[in-house]
Structure 1
Amino acid sequence: MRLAPLTLCLALATPALAQTPLTGAEFETYATGKTLTYAIGGEIYGVEQYLPNRRVRWAFVDDTCRIGHWYEDAGSICFVYDHDATPQCWSFYRNEGALTARFMSDPPSTELKEVAQTDEPLACSGPDIGV
């Protein structure tokens, strides 16, 4: 009988663990044409604009915009930016109508949540203005 609460907790956690990441096509359909704001632990982390042809424009809070692109690789969505060719791969999930992203190199500690979206372009303060 003592295991019943633990069993209940595991059963309640199962849907989150069994959640299927978005495919590249699903991610592209959801994100293209939008500018999404992401938070980590309730604090704004950054903003990314999803452009046609899998191009992106990213900025951390109060930072220069970075231009890049994304591609699908082994079930992950990977981003490469012009300033750094190292792929940054994430798994994206739909959760209550918004995206949740988990960094593949460090899933337990890096989870971003979409907290806002707009169809307005990302306001850039750096050298990539107007790109």
Structure 2
Amino acid sequence: MRFLWFLLSIGLFGTSLSAETPLSGPEFDAYTAGRTITYNANGQEFGAETYLRRQRVRWSFLQGECQEGHWFERGDTICFVYEAVDGPQCWQFFMTQSGLRAEFTGDTGTILFESPSDKDLSCPGPDVGM
């Protein structure tokens, strides 16, 4: 029985049994406002987002192109709307000892972790240069 509880507690069955509460909109804003946060998935750099005033954001998969958008609170999720993406992309954010953990609420099951980084987001775009 203890082994089953251990497996459940570390999430091997795809759900977390912890009493974690997702960040609210004001909590998320207090942590992110004015910052650029780099995220990783499975130990690999995934992308970065700059959190601007009035819930505006700028996202990049770190390939030079950025998406402008905004976020809003919907229930226990933080949803993002970007210029080139249909519909909101909603996530639950949790504060951990090492920073944010973001769990996508769509059907991909993506989980991102905040990575320590002092990089600024660079958005030169695809048509810069010759």
Query: Fold conserved (TM > 0.5)?
Result: yes
TM-score by length of 2: 0.83
Deviations 1:27-55 (A, max 9, x none): 00000000000000001010100001000
TM-score by length of 1: 0.82
Deviations 1:67-89 (A, max 9, x none): 00000001100000122241000
Verify the 8 A CA contact 1:34 1:117 in the aligned structure 2. no
More helix by share: 1
Which position in structure 1 is the counterpart of 2:57?
56
More strand by share: 1
Verify the 8 A CA contact 1:37 1:116 in the aligned structure 2. yes
Report sequence identity in percent: 41
Which position in structure 1 is the counterpart of 2:66?
65
Verify the 8 A CA contact 1:90 1:103 in the aligned structure 2. yes
Verify the 8 A CA contact 2:98 2:114 in the aligned structure 1. no
Consecutive unaligned residues in structure 2, runs of 5 or more: none
- Higher relative contact order at CA 8 Å, sep ≥6: structure 1 or structure 2? 1
Q: Following superposition of structure 1 onto structure 2, how do residues 1-131 of structure 1 map, counting pairs within 5 Å?
A: 3-7=1-5, 9=6, 12-13=9-10, 17-106=18-107, 109-118=109-118, 121-126=120-125
CA spacing shift, 1:6–1:54, aligned 2, 3 Å: same
Q: Distance in 1 between matches of 2:69 and 2:117?
A: 19
